[in-house]
């Protein structure tokens, strides 16, 4: 059986290697009347989808490799002790799993009664067997870790190259150091409540990583559910025309979700904009194309909701906690060194 697992893994590895590691093959993968189509171009066009599939394949390969390593370690340990693998597992795993007490069964039932919706006596044995299986697997995992810790295990399995989206930022509002090592691009909707809640996180990140991080704003107004978001985005661009995009941006989020014509004009006054210039810019639709350009780019990147972010091209979605951003930023700063 171990031999069949090994052959399966070998075949899987060869398949994945040939699919993922284009460096071992010419970059050219097709021609159309002499026009070359490269692997790089295909990866650029469908990078997000391809990376997801490659990562899924890698997880399967890694899981199977771990199972095979475990089988090798168990087989060797059983041989050293002069017993079969099943006997070894009985001795080291099953034999060391404590019996399931009635109090454990009762506690599990009490915690899941609303979901189970049957009397305890009808599922008593099923609960006992389930809890026993959980303890067995926990003990087996602990034992396998001890075997692995006592062996020299070296894995040469490589994860697929990390996907980084190509996000165009030229001409977009920027906050922070212009030449920072880390760029965070945020696609947001001024009427989106989750976009509003994440703003303090960025203020904190800019303080924590002063000079190392820059923040780029992109508009993704979700017209179907936030009918005032596009107008608000255009208004913020008009404020940017007077050099006060970020002042207006912050005040606009403070006013959100009330972003009607009167509200956006009131915010303009609060941040000290020239009212005449602002009104003319907004009514003329002068910066409508800039907002639409961001919207089109978001669609090309496969974004369907807000907020969405790219940290040096690495996508992260939703109003994540500060440390979720910080973890990626720290990784990127580590690589830049």
Q: Is 167 within the bounds of a domain?
A: no
Instruction: Specify the DSSP class assigned to residue 173.
Output: -
Name 159's Cβ contacts closer than 8 Å, sequence gap at least 6.
Answer: 55, 58
Structural domain containing residue 108: 2-149
* 138 and 204 housed in the same domain: no
Identify whether residues 187 and 313 lie together within a single domain.
yes
322 and 185 housed in the same domain: yes
Question: Global pTM?
Answer: 0.67
Per-residue pLDDT of 281-296, as tens digits, reads 999 999 999 999 999 9
Total number of domains in the chain: 2
Structure tokens given for 99: 């019996």
Sequence-distant (≥ 6) Cβ neighbours of residue 265 within 8 angstroms: 275, 278, 279, 282
The mean-pLDDT minimum among 38-52, 155-169, 308-322 falls in: 38-52
Overall average pLDDT of the 98-114 stretch: 95
- Per the CB < 8 A criterion, the answer to whether 296 and 173 are in contact is no
What does each C-alpha distance from 47 to 40, 135, 164, 327, 335 come to in angstroms?
9, 42, 8, 23, 21
97 and 235 part of one domain:
no
Please give the pLDDT value at position 245: 97
Q: What is the pLDDT of residues 268-277, one digit of tens each?
A: 999 999 999 9
Residue with tokens 């500060």: 322
163, part of any domain: no
Cα dihedral angle (242, 245, 249, 250), rounded to 10 degrees? Answer: -90
């Amino acid at each position: 059986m171990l031999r069949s697992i090994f052959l399966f893994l070998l075949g899987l590895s060869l398949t994945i290697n040939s699919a993922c590691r284009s460096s071992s093959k010419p970059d050219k993968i097709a021609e159309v009347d002499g026009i070359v189509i490269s692997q790089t171009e295909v990866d650029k066009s469908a990078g997000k989808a391809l990376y997801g599939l490659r990562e899924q394949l890698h997880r399967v390969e890694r899981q199977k490799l771990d199972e095979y390593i475990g089988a090798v370690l168990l087989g060797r340990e059983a041989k050293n002790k002069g017993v079969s693998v099943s006997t070894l597992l009985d001795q080291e795993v099953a034999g060391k799993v404590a019996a399931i007490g009635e109090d454990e069964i009762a506690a599990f039932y009490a915690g899941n009664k609303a979901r189970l919706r049957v009397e305890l006596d009808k599922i008593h044995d099923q609960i006992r067997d389930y809890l026993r299986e959980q303890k067995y697997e926990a003990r087996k995992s602990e034992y396998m870790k001890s075997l692995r810790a006592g062996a020299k295990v070296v894995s040469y399995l490589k994860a697929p190259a990390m996907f980084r989206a190509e996000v165009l930022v030229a001409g977009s509002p920027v906050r922070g150091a212009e030449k920072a090592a880390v760029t965070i691009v945020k696609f947001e909707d001024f009427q989106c409540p989750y976009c509003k809640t994440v703003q303090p996180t960025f203020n904190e990140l800019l303080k924590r990583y002063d000079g190392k991080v820059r923040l780029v704003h992109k508009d993704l107004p979700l017209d179907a559910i936030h009918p005032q978001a596009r107008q608000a985005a255009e208004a913020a661009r008009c404020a940017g025309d007077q050099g006060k995009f970020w002042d207006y941006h912050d005040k606009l989020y403070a006013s959100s979700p009330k972003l009607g014509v009167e509200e956006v004009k009131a915010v303009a006054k609060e941040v000290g904009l020239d009212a005449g210039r602002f009104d003319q810019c907004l009514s003329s639709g002068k910066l409508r194309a800039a907002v639409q350009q961001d919207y089109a780019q978001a669609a090309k990147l496969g974004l369907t909701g807000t907020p969405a972010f790219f940290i040096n091209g690495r996508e992260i979605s939703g109003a994540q906690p500060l440390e979720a951003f910080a973890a990626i930023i720290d990784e990127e700063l580590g690589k830049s060194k």
